[in-house]
Structure 1
């Protein structure tokens, strides 16, 4: 049940009727016509821009179109009034019975209320986290993991077929540095004094890995050169780090459908195949690039390179894919990886990158556009930094990690629910301040507490009603007389519930799961507001002396709890049944 979709269909039907009678010309594009909540609730329940967007192509005044539409739309029994405002906006007020039907619709559909078929089963690959396998995940990875996971759940709820994917960056020089760092811990496990040179990883998390390596190989690697141990230690250390990363993600409730190894692209012909695909399209050539911005001819040495014509697909400059020594640039395996995604038949690709990858966006979009002949869109979502605070001060670095605060540090401090919700209270490309004290504070200012408390309040009412002998099963509540829910505060809460299906489609279309968190906070606020008004007006209390009236009131509260539970499920947060 999506009232906004239903009323938009009514508006389009009215437009069609006006075309049939000759008031409006045929062939008008109605795609821009919207029906949405008005900016000011005092203006009505819904507003449409139909007259404004149709005026120019119809060569009519917007107000004339709006008045003709108002007459048509007002005759529908679902509409109590249609009023023209300003130059031609049309404000609608709906019959109370439409809002009063909302709780029943929610209870009948349960957690599936608001699910959308918008995605039509299109296959979407969401790649996120994809941290170098050189240590535990840090707080920046945490935000990316939460965002990517919530986005994947949101898209699934909106009718897409989603794959959650992690790209293991195990093909570069950083894994050699990891191997050397683990080797030092291995020597340490044998009682040797070691010194971590610049560039190696000194974190304490590698102590256990060094000890495991000792258990595995004994003293076989002692007093030997890298040519003996580097490859084996690299594979061993990478596997250990990926186990650690999986454990970190599990703490946060994140589980991937697929892990893809960068290393699997090397020596298998897969990079060559991707580049050959671009070559077949005439997009690979030998050439010389212009000096980068800020470089002068005096400090820039031009050299011929193998280049990808990324400018033909929207990039600012063409990009090197092969170094002068014949080795691939770091961009080439990324091209091959996305070529693999394209070949797997995804309808859409989404990459979740850290903010430091902003300069990488255009070239990656260009590559996917070229590889798919423009058929597979790539959306890159950049995750801005997280600043941690505790006791009013910046949160200190982790000893375990050596140089940064880990995902594990954050989750152990406040739990996975708080971590996930707080990480989604701001848009992904906006900086986020994470205050540990506020995150666990039980107050209106703590959004996760406020939303979970709303759900717990409803559960408390239902327990008390059941103890009083009231049947509070969803079937019984759905059968209650909902026409008694006529107070403005009750109608306001039902109007908020009506926004849920629309909100899902808007958030999914924009790849913006933070909108779910913000909306849930607004819904919780409306529920708490109705609860508080019951202190002064006993008729608004959910528990009444008459069991039938209690069922009607509780049906609304239960519907709110169902939607909160569904929304928190998208965010990966547990709906609480009681809070202490």
Structure 2
């Protein structure tokens, strides 16, 4: 049961009756949400202010009409106009009992929705160059993308998790050359790694594998023959390494798309450029020099350009370099046409902070290749500052001095890594404090939430000890006298539970999975607060030996809290332990 959706529908129906001249588009803009100040009520709506001006009416006049209508609703105890025309509702206690019943009946599906209607959505995330292990800079985008994918699936979308393998650039040749040096090292040579090569120890096993497969035979072959052999094997090894790194955070992609498949005669880039040309989206022309400092590689020449500005970009984009090779953007536009042709009208790309300039061009590309039939949302994940002894680590694959995803997980665990990276908006920079995430205190958000879940199980253990004859099986909890839940403290906790379906929907619509982490922390705080009240007021304790029926009702409330915490942590990819050591 979604209280907010329920009353949104009731308010919409009332507006149709009271003001039939208001169209469906106007009514669709009505919002029902919690008031900013809980003292003002349970629900608030802007309905009167939305329709008043288009109908040539005073907002309070519209609001008063709606107030009169809801005075006859038995689920509403009071309704009043506030400010310029907001309407605040207080709901009857049976509504909150219905919420508890819904949690018990729906279990893991409480909060799940059909918002997506089964539509396909492609979420591309991580997509790091396959030149080494995942470092902490990649980890934030990996966790964000994976959590967003779980959120969208929970909200009724058919989700494909995709990784774009950047395996066609010059960095891959550098990687192959670096691996070949390690091969020579495995054969007993003393090597010196030149500047610009990848010096990391993670290439040593690749060199050893090459030795095991080829012996010393590669030393006598021409470079043109050796490089492709090495490239295939080092790419496969790096991709296995990346997959193993991501698996430590329980991240698994459905599709690994190779950029190399876009290139070559008859490849997607060639076909896409031909299609764009036929559609009049390509022309030959010159670009103005960029504003500010002109890059060294900028050329004032006639070139093949995509009409990106027709689709919302700031400038038109070059597709072919002066040497005849394709630009990175040519590959990007072909790749997104490939996605569209695979049936994706909804695309989400998760990129790092250094790609913020790509947003408009990717959105323009998606609009163009789909003839405006597809939408693209680009989510930028800002930098993570990893603190160690008060000093941030610098990370560089080429120097070999990097903090890997595996390092972070080994230090604090997968749960803490995932939760803490989601406990902040993706577009805000963050510090990842090793000391904080290892503390077992309320200041550590992941511990605080997991402790709330463990505490729910502890309460059931207490009930089993103090009331051994009490049946609190799922069937017994479902039949509990929920009507005994009436105190303000209890109902406040139920109100937080009631916000879960709305939170899921809002997070999915906005593509903001951090809202799930914020919500479950709020629920944990509300639960801990109620438990603390029971220490001072025995009438509020969950287990009452003198009143088994009240105990059973409160155990049903505890179980509802447990279930919603589990639901939220499942989306976040975080475990819900029954005990904490």
Q: Same fold (TM over 0.5)?
A: yes
Deviation at 1:10, TM superposition (A): 1.4
Deviation at 1:475, TM superposition (A): 2.0
Listed one character per residue, the Cα deviations across residues 109-158 of structure 1 (whole Å, up to 9, x for unaligned) are: 00100111111111000000011110001111110000000000000011
Distance 1:278 1:502, change over 3 A: same
Distance 1:296 1:389, change over 3 A: closer
2:248 corresponding residue in structure 1: 251
Q: What SS does structure 1 have at the residue aligned with 2:578?
A: coil
- Which sits farther off after the overlay, 136-145 or 298-307? 298-307
Please say if 1:49 is aligned against 2:50.
no
Listed one character per residue, the Cα deviations across residues 186-211 of structure 1 (whole Å, up to 9, x for unaligned) are: 11111111111111000111111111
Q: Work out whether residues 28 and 58 of structure 1, in 8 Å CA contact, stay in contact via their aligned partners in 2.
A: no
Distance 1:579 1:27, change over 3 A: closer
Please say if 1:567 is aligned against 2:568.
yes
Q: What SS does structure 1 have at the residue aligned with 2:174?
A: helix
Residue 156 (structure 2) aligned to one of 155, 159, 172: 159
Q: What SS does structure 2 have at the residue aligned with 1:195?
A: coil
Provide structure 2 residue ranges, at least 5 long, that are not aligned to the other structure.
none
CA distance in 1: counterparts of 2:309 and 2:146, whole angstroms: 32
Q: Work out whether residues 261 and 267 of structure 2, in 8 Å CA contact, stay in contact via their aligned partners in 1.
A: no
1:245-324 counterparts in 2 under 5 A? 245-267=242-264, 268-295=266-293, 301-324=299-322
2:135 corresponding residue in structure 1: 138
CA distance in 1: counterparts of 2:295 and 2:4, whole angstroms: 60
Distance 1:222 1:105, change over 3 A: same
CA distance in 2: counterparts of 1:168 and 1:572, whole angstroms: 24
Distance 1:157 1:72, change over 3 A: same
Deviation at 1:350, TM superposition (A): 0.5
CA distance in 2: counterparts of 1:544 and 1:27, whole angstroms: 51
Q: How many residues align?
A: 577
CA distance in 2: counterparts of 1:25 and 1:244, whole angstroms: 59
Q: Work out whether residues 132 and 397 of structure 2, in 8 Å CA contact, stay in contact via their aligned partners in 1.
A: no
Please say if 1:360 is aligned against 2:390.
no
Q: Work out whether residues 198 and 398 of structure 2, in 8 Å CA contact, stay in contact via their aligned partners in 1.
A: no
Please say if 1:198 is aligned against 2:195.
yes
Please say if 1:219 is aligned against 2:220.
no
2:505 corresponding residue in structure 1: 505
CA distance in 2: counterparts of 1:298 and 1:340, whole angstroms: 32
Q: Work out whether residues 136 and 401 of structure 1, in 8 Å CA contact, stay in contact via their aligned partners in 2.
A: no
1:548 corresponding residue in structure 2: 549
1:505-544 counterparts in 2 under 5 A? 505-544=505-544
CA distance in 2: counterparts of 1:135 and 1:5, whole angstroms: 47
2:386 corresponding residue in structure 1: 388
CA distance in 2: counterparts of 1:568 and 1:367, whole angstroms: 35
CA distance in 1: counterparts of 2:29 and 2:566, whole angstroms: 33
Q: TM-score, normalized by length of structure 2?
A: 0.96
CA distance in 1: counterparts of 2:118 and 2:129, whole angstroms: 32
Distance 1:480 1:225, change over 3 A: same
Please say if 1:90 is aligned against 2:98.
no
Deviation at 1:52, TM superposition (A): 1.1
Q: What SS does structure 1 have at the residue aligned with 2:188?
A: coil
Q: Work out whether residues 204 and 399 of structure 1, in 8 Å CA contact, stay in contact via their aligned partners in 2.
A: no
Distance 1:118 1:297, change over 3 A: closer
Deviation at 1:269, TM superposition (A): 2.3
Deviation at 1:225, TM superposition (A): 4.4
Q: TM-score, normalized by length of structure 1?
A: 0.97
Listed one character per residue, the Cα deviations across residues 178-236 of structure 1 (whole Å, up to 9, x for unaligned) are: 00111111111111111111110001111111111111111011255422311110110
Distance 1:554 1:299, change over 3 A: closer
CA distance in 2: counterparts of 1:283 and 1:11, whole angstroms: 47
2:460 corresponding residue in structure 1: 462
CA distance in 2: counterparts of 1:272 and 1:242, whole angstroms: 27
Q: Work out whether residues 320 and 327 of structure 2, in 8 Å CA contact, stay in contact via their aligned partners in 1.
A: yes
Listed one character per residue, the Cα deviations across residues 58-88 of structure 1 (whole Å, up to 9, x for unaligned) are: 1111111111100101211110110111121
Listed one character per residue, the Cα deviations across residues 253-276 of structure 1 (whole Å, up to 9, x for unaligned) are: 001111111111122422111111
1:234 corresponding residue in structure 2: 231
CA distance in 2: counterparts of 1:381 and 1:40, whole angstroms: 31
CA distance in 1: counterparts of 2:370 and 2:394, whole angstroms: 45
CA distance in 1: counterparts of 2:291 and 2:301, whole angstroms: 17
CA distance in 2: counterparts of 1:7 and 1:362, whole angstroms: 38
CA distance in 2: counterparts of 1:77 and 1:299, whole angstroms: 71
1:74 corresponding residue in structure 2: 71
- Which sits farther off after the overlay, 53-62 or 149-158? 53-62
1:128 corresponding residue in structure 2: 125
Distance 1:29 1:515, change over 3 A: same
Listed one character per residue, the Cα deviations across residues 333-384 of structure 1 (whole Å, up to 9, x for unaligned) are: 2211111100011120000111101111211111111000011001011111
Distance 1:559 1:261, change over 3 A: same
Provide structure 1 residue ranges, at least 5 long, that are not aligned to the other structure.
none
CA distance in 1: counterparts of 2:565 and 2:231, whole angstroms: 46
1:327-342 counterparts in 2 under 5 A? 327-342=325-340
CA distance in 2: counterparts of 1:391 and 1:476, whole angstroms: 53
Deviation at 1:242, TM superposition (A): 0.2
Listed one character per residue, the Cα deviations across residues 513-559 of structure 1 (whole Å, up to 9, x for unaligned) are: 00000011000000000000000111211111122211100111110
